[in-house]
Structure 1
């Protein structure tokens, strides 16, 4: 790959990292934000501080010098892993990917459907990269069957995911108030704003009634909430129902089903993890570079 092409890749990636995609037109206008189509003129200063100005070229050069090597290396790492994984027929089981994505969802706050779709695509790419990299680093290592069996008996359940619901609620005193809330929801009112206005749950009303991601087996999830939530679709609200402390309306952000693995399903992943521990190997693609011919602007 030529140095000019690699430098071009650097520029594209750097602009992407500041939430932008760069598109040139004949008037030298640059789209710097896809969401609102904000534009700048690359021939004009990007900032002015008193009499001092910062040119577009200065800005780009600073980005290249500050982040260029790190970001280009990351791009090469991913391509190295992709090529070697393909050569060695290394694939990641969809069930493992789903488990990882489910765990990530439980650590996130509220996301719209569109936001969740974008995040999940990123997560998926990162998960596949991580597992393929781990497998490539340990492919010449083997772990005794007895050691794997012992590890599974002690820690196998850590690979499972327990069914969870990510929910918000509005808790009111009676069905009359609840029906009023539902009427406003049907007219397009925001669930979180209505929670702040109507909910009698002081612990959650300030956060729009958000209860978080809760395992359905948790003692902190009332049985009435579990029963209602498991019948709902993602990104929908329930009809009012009688709860322990009043009348509740639920909003289901996301329902995450349980995922479990038997020994044979999870064995390859346990083996690579244990091999990484025995090798005292960090999860870095650096050792794999020598397996491919790589030429880049920062050296060999």
Structure 2
């Protein structure tokens, strides 16, 4: 899926461009494509040359990725395959827990993209492994090895400002109340060198993490998203905490992850790689590149 990320903003351009003309005038973000896309010194780089280069370098791989997704989703629909909702929600949460700060609109847009990728990968594995025998005892044994690994704990996305004393902390609170941004004040006041230049950003931490002191999670649990706390004391100084977002816990039982475990065991029994190209023959694919 790396190639998808590389060309996300030029998808439509890439697929509808040929060597003689550009049939798309805008990128996905709505920006028009000028005849000259760059000027280096007194030499310009033409849009047609740029687009032709993209097509030559990425066109085949990107078209293949589109075909693969269509093959998987069509076969899954034909066979009435579905995924456990908790599995999808857990994987969404796991992906989101690695991200930076987003507003609600961006988060919803990204979640739809992630959900499509999660569905594709899991349905692909289901299609490729469904005829591989896996016993109930194998599934139960794997699950019992570590039942908690399948759960997702409540996770908090936080930033903080650490200052030396309560007086400085109250000064920071006053500036926050006057409308100054938490990030700029972290850069100005925080004594935590690990997060200072990142605006105090800590990222997501599960509530059972031992990296942060318990008081962080106790404080965050009583906060609303996009708010800051009153100062509290830790060993390193006085902290003001900002809570960006909460990912709620997802507790799963064996029935919720049985499919997933079966696929993982079956994959270890496979004698070829996980790729949708093995499924092309089941649905019939004719494409621009033929047998290349």
- What TM-score do the two structures reach when normalised by structure 2? 0.84
Counterparts in 2 of 1:1-300, with a 5 A limit? 17-18=8-9, 30-32=25-27, 34=29, 38-41=31-34, 44-49=35-40, 52-299=43-290
Give the CA RMSD over aligned residues: 2.7
Alignment check: 8 A CA contact 1:20 1:31 kept: no
Distance in 2, matches of 1:21 and 1:294, equals 21
Give the drift of 1:51.
5.7
Structure 1: where are the runs of 5+ without partners?
1-12, 23-27
Alignment check: 8 A CA contact 1:168 1:251 kept: yes
Alignment check: 8 A CA contact 1:14 1:68 kept: no
Give the drift of 1:64.
1.3
Distance in 2, matches of 1:231 and 1:264, equals 33
Corresponding residue for 1:8? none
User: How many residues are matched?
Assistant: 279
SS in 1 for 2:25: strand
- What TM-score do the two structures reach when normalised by structure 1? 0.82
Give the drift of 1:245.
3.9
SS in 2 for 1:278: coil
Distance in 1, matches of 2:28 and 2:87, equals 34
Give the drift of 1:97.
1.4
Give the drift of 1:49.
4.2
Distance in 2, matches of 1:14 and 1:101, equals 18
Once the two structures are overlaid, the 10-residue window that deviates more, 238-247 or 61-70, is 238-247
Structure 2: where are the runs of 5+ without partners?
14-22
Give the drift of 1:145.
1.5
Distance in 2, matches of 1:15 and 1:206, equals 28
Distance in 1, matches of 2:122 and 2:95, equals 16
Alignment check: 8 A CA contact 2:190 2:200 kept: yes
Give the drift of 1:63.
1.4
Q: Do the aligned partners of residues 51 and 249 (structure 1) sit closer, same or farther apart at CA in structure 2, a change above 3 Å counting?
A: closer
